[in-house]
């Protein structure tokens, strides 16, 4: 589908900010391993999250939907923590699964590229690379699409990240035997909700040079995505039916956004932040496509570099959003009781503050290689009883590289990988 015909159909030109990279269906591989579940949703807490504010609860329980406990939030920051709606679940997510409280980002610089790459590839990355570079190792999306069996369409794999800027390239690697042909569909929801798309393309002659340049970039982005076709050994092409289904789905959401129906779909007071919109968009994906593999990137907590209380507040908001997501999963036919949800920060954050004070007298936090706390994280594996251990706490040492082999094990293709991953399956989570 060309850009022009898409714009005509959607009547919304800024769809380029969200245009998915619609990919070919996978190849046939011989059926092998059994599955623990047919769907995995991975919520990656990006931006660095300390165990002090999460599992250790030094500021009270900022994550009451994820973690058990009613500990009150510290008095000095309590007024800076937005009140969220009541828990959409009858109990905490921890009680629906297994908490790994002794998880480490075990190797490599404690930066975002490294944290993301380890979480998405299951490989240690020991060099500081550009955030805008594809990782050198195949991602979980490529491993799933190349080695999973039986064949599954590309619309079953999604990388959902808050914007089109920091992390658009983690839906596939630069590895010569994998790459874009086995990538996940990619979507960046936040610009979708922040742009006044009903105005921007209708008044192009009034654009400033800066806005005109942005529109030019969007048009090129749309062209590159909608013209893209892949041929693997001359036999695999983009699936036109899937492409149409995704475009129709996006068009429906775009029209709702323009008409104001998505201004605050969860009725969160006083607003929904970027991470909550990302989780809302994940819910819409789930309800429409029931994907087998969905990774949601949550990034607002990176405000911790300059605003400690804001960081705590965004943790609190994300906590509500993840619970809302699980409630949607358990309310969606095809996903209910057949989905495993994984929650994990990419990296930790320093014990030592950086000297930047917020409005509540608290000091901000960076994440540097020399601070051991920047390697301390936690993990949650949540799923149906009889498959996932319920209300279980594991203190066994584990690592962020363990998530990729765990996903491969859940979806039944870990024994089909042509190489060994450094991590191990988180077997303690399963019955």
Find the CATH number of the domain harbouring 375: 3.40.720.10
Please state the separation of Cα 63 from the chain's center in Å.
18
More confident: 112 or 222: 112
The average pLDDT across 261-284 equals 93
The per-residue pLDDT for range 201-247, each reduced to its tens digit, is: 333 333 345 544 544 544 444 444 433 433 333 222 346 788 788 87
Residues 6+ apart with CB under 8 A from 351: 52, 371, 372, 373
Paired strand residues for 340: 40
Of 201-210, 305-314, 324-333, 413-422, where does mean pLDDT reach its minimum?
201-210
Q: Say if residue 425's pLDDT is above 80.
A: yes
pTM, to two decimals: 0.86
What per-residue confidence (pLDDT) applies to 192?
A: 60
Cα(169)–Cα(179) distance, rounded to whole angstroms? 11
Q: Say if residue 347's pLDDT is above 90.
A: yes
Asked whether the bond before 150 is cis by omega within 30 degrees of 0, the reply is yes
What per-residue confidence (pLDDT) applies to 219?
A: 45
Count structural domains, the chain: 1
- Domain of residue 28, residue span: 3-429
Please choose, from the candidates 382, 352, 394, the residue with its C-alpha nearest in 3D space to the C-alpha of residue 40: 382
Predicted confidence band at 10 (pLDDT cuts at 50, 70, 90)? very low
> Mean pLDDT in the chain?
82
The per-residue pLDDT for range 360-415, each reduced to its tens digit, is: 999 999 999 889 999 999 999 999 999 999 999 999 999 999 999 999 999 999 99
Structure tokens at 423: 């991590």
Question: Percent of the chain, pLDDT > 70?
Answer: 77
Using CA atoms of 174, 27, 43, 262 in order, give the dihedral in degrees to the nearest 10.
100
Cα(247)–Cα(226) distance, rounded to whole angstroms? 10
Please choose, from the candidates 417, 383, 405, the residue with its C-alpha nearest in 3D space to the C-alpha of residue 120: 405
Cα(12)–Cα(28) distance, rounded to whole angstroms? 37
Provide the CB-side half-sphere exposure for 341 (13 A, CA).
Answer: 31
| Strand intervals (E) in 96-231 | 97-104, 157-160, 185-187
Q: Say if residue 60's pLDDT is above 50.
A: yes
Please choose, from the candidates 141, 146, 134, 169, the residue with its C-alpha nearest in 3D space to the C-alpha of residue 157: 141
What per-residue confidence (pLDDT) applies to 148?
A: 82
φ/ψ (deg, to 5) at 331: -110, 0
Cα(283)–Cα(275) distance, rounded to whole angstroms? 12
CB atoms within 10 A of CB 323: 22
What per-residue confidence (pLDDT) applies to 152?
A: 66
The per-residue pLDDT for range 85-96, each reduced to its tens digit, is: 999 999 999 999
Residue 78 in 3-state DSSP?
helix
Are 285 and 291 a contacting pair, CB within 8 Å? yes
Predicted confidence band at 170 (pLDDT cuts at 50, 70, 90)? confident
The average pLDDT across 42-53 equals 95
What per-residue confidence (pLDDT) applies to 206?
A: 38
Residue whose entry in the numeric block shows the structure tokens 């998915």: 20
Predicted confidence band at 189 (pLDDT cuts at 50, 70, 90)? confident
């Amino acid at each position: 589908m060309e850009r022009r015909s898409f714009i005509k159909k959607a009547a919304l030109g800024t769809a380029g900010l969200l245009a998915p990279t619609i990919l070919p269906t996978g190849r046939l591989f011989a059926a092998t391993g059994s599955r623990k579940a047919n769907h995995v949703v991975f919520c990656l807490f990006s931006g660095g999250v300390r165990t002090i504010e999460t599992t250790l609860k030094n500021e009270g329980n900022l994550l009451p939907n994820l973690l058990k406990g009613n500990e009150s939030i510290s008095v000095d920051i309590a007024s800076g923590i937005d009140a969220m709606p009541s828990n959409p679940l009858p109990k905490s997510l921890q009680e629906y699964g297994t908490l790994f409280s002794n998880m480490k980002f075990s190797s490599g610089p404690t930066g975002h590229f490294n944290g993301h790459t380890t979480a998405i590839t299951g490989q240690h990355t020991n060099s500081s690379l550009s955030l805008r570079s594809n990782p050198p190792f195949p991602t979980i999306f490529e491993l799933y699409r190349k080695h999973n069996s039986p064949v599954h369409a590309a619309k079953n794999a999604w990388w959902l990240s808050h914007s089109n800027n920091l992390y658009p390239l983690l839906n596939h690697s630069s590895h010569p035997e994998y790459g874009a042909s086995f990538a996940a569909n990619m979507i960046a929801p936040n610009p979708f909700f922040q742009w006044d798309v009903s105005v921007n393309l209708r008044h192009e002659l009034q654009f400033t040079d800066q806005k005109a340049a942005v529109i030019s970039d969007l048009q090129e982005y749309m062209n590159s995505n909608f013209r893209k076709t892949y041929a693997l050994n001359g036999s695999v092409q983009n699936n036109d039916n899937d492409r149409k289904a995704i475009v129709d789905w996006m068009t429906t959401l775009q029209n709702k956004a323009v008409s104001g129906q998505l201004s605050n779909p969860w009725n969160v007071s006083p607003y929904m932040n970027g991470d909550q919109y990302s989780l809302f968009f994940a819910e819409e994906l789930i309800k429409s496509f029931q994907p087998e593999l969905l990774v949601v990137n949550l990034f607002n907590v990176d405000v911790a570099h300059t605003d400690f209380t804001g960081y705590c507040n965004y943790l609190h908001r994300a906590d509500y959003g993840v619970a809302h997501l699980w409630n949607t999963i358990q309310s969606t036919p095809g996903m209910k009781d057949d989905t495993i949800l994984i929650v994990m920060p990419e990296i930790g954050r320093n014990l030592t503050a950086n000297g930047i004070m917020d409005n509540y007298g608290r000091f901000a936090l960076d994440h540097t290689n020399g601070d051991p706390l920047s390697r301390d994280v936690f993990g949650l594996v949540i799923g149906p009883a009889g498959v996932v251990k319920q209300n279980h706490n594991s203190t066994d040492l584990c690592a962020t590289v363990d998530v990729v082999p765990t996903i491969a094990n859940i979806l039944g293709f870990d024994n089909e990988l042509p190489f060994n991953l450094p991590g191990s399956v988180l077997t303690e989570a399963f019955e």
